[in-house]
């Protein structure tokens, strides 16, 4: 059976909504504050550590060589066109000459000897022009090869200049990340400490829903605003922080469980009337209905299925582990009932649990 009153249930749900709303507003406000934190949004760049004077000089030479290569390509294309033209003229002139020689051989006219010499000279002149055109292309190709090699050397120098900036950049980057992390830690750590204090000291306060919203906000700030900025020097810091947090959680969990068991052991040695004064009414009713002893938190009987308003076996009136009285009899009608009930569920008269508490 449910021991919590319906208004209490709706009140608790409404307070959770209030906690979430307040936490969301705090998160948005924290985001604005973090965005205005110095260096939070601007990190160093590798360009800041490059020797710009050397780089600009190399870039100027690269631009000039690339322009020269483009001009060389244009000249090379023009020279190849001229070579093709000279080769075609030579081939045509030579073909005409060979045909003319065949005609002359047929006629055997000595008067044509001067013309033979003239035609041979013309062919030789065309061949010379073709050779000059080839030589121009060879010179342009040689120049292009030299410029290409020079361009490769300059690009290698540019790469070396940028590579020289990597080491100081990485060092400055690590320092900047550490600085941002330290700044965020300085803002987040007080929130975590306050939250821990609220959990330890204000858990049962009437303003706990408000404190709970602050705790949600601080956890969000830790996991979203701080953890992603953990420095990572090869993963050592991240793994180290993770191990430290895990050990810390394990330490407090073990200490808490040890303290809890010790307190339970001490409580079991107290008189039953003192135990009853320390147990909240609604908690006791709920636990007994679920087959759990409210004194030692052990299972004293089988847990009943949901939806059934039944009780454990009739003969289990006391906890088999600590002897705590779980069920009593109504002095008016004799009905067996939860020992924490204030009124008998069968006849409605006040129960004798107060007397049981006083005389236990």
Q: Count helices and strands (H / E) in the chain.
A: 9, 2
Whether residue 294 contacts residue 288, with contact meaning beta carbons closer than 8 Å, is answered with yes
Give pLDDT, residue 280: 84
123-159 burial, b if ≥16 CB within 10 A, otherwise e?
Answer: beebbebbeebbebbeebeeebeebeeebeebeebbe
Taking the chain (360 residues) in consecutive chunks of 10 residues, what is each chunk's mean pLDDT?
Answer: 61 84 87 69 77 91 92 91 86 80 60 71 84 90 92 93 90 82 84 88 83 89 79 67 81 83 76 80 84 85 53 69 85 85 85 55
pLDDT confidence of residue 41: 52
DSSP 8-state code for residue 38: T
CA distance 83 to 79: 6
Give pTM, 2 decimals.
0.48
Q: Which residue has the tokens 């059976």?
A: 1
Residues 6+ apart with CB under 8 A from 122: 93
Tell me how far CA of residue 234 lies from CA of 174, 181, 222, 231, 240, in angstroms. 11, 16, 22, 9, 11
Residue 66: predicted pLDDT = 92
How many CA atoms, within 13 angstroms, populate the side-chain half-sphere of residue 188?
Answer: 25
């Amino acid at each position: 059976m449910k021991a919590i009153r319906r208004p209490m249930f709706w009140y608790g749900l409404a307070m959770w909504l209030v906690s979430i709303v307040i936490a969301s507003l705090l998160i948005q406000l924290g985001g604005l504050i973090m965005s205005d934190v110095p260096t939070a949004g601007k990190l160093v760049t590798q360009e800041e550590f490059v020797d710009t004077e050397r780089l600009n000089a190399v870039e100027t030479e690269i631009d000039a060589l690339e322009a020269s290569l483009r001009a060389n390509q244009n000249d090379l294309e023009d020279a190849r066109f001229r070579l093709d033209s000279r080769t075609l003229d030579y081939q045509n002139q030579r073909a005409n000459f060979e045909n003319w020689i065949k005609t002359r051989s047929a006629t055997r006219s000595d008067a044509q000897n001067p013309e033979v010499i003239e035609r041979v000279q013309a062919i030789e002149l065309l061949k010379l022009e073709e050779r000059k055109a080839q030589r121009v292309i060879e010179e342009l190709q040689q120049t292009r090869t030299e410029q290409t090699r020079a361009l490769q050397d300059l690009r290698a120098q540019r790469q070396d200049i940028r590579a020289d900036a990597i080491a100081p950049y990485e060092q400055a980057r690590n320092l900047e990340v550490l600085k941002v992390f330290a700044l965020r830690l300085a803002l987040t750590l007080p929130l975590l400490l306050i939250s821990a204090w609220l959990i330890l000291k204000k858990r049962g306060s009437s303003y706990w829903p408000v404190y709970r919203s602050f705790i949600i906000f601080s956890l969000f700030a830790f996991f979203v605003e701080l953890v992603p900025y953990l420095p990572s020097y090869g993963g050592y810091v991240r793994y180290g922080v993770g191990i430290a947090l895990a050990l810390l959680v394990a330490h407090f969990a073990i200490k808490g469980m040890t303290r809890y068991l010790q307190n339970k052991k001490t409580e079991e040695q107290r008189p039953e009337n003192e135990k009853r004064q320390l147990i909240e009414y609604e908690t006791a009713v709920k636990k007994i209905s679920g087959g759990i002893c409210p004194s030692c938190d052990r299972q004293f009987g089988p847990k009943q299925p949901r939806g059934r308003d039944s009780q454990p076996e009739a003969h289990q009136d006391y906890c088999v582990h600590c002897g705590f009285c779980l069920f009593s009899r109504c002095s008016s009608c004799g009905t067996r009932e939860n020992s924490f009930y204030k009124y008998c569920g069968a006849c409605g008269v006040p129960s004798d649990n107060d007397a049981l508490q006083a005389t236990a």
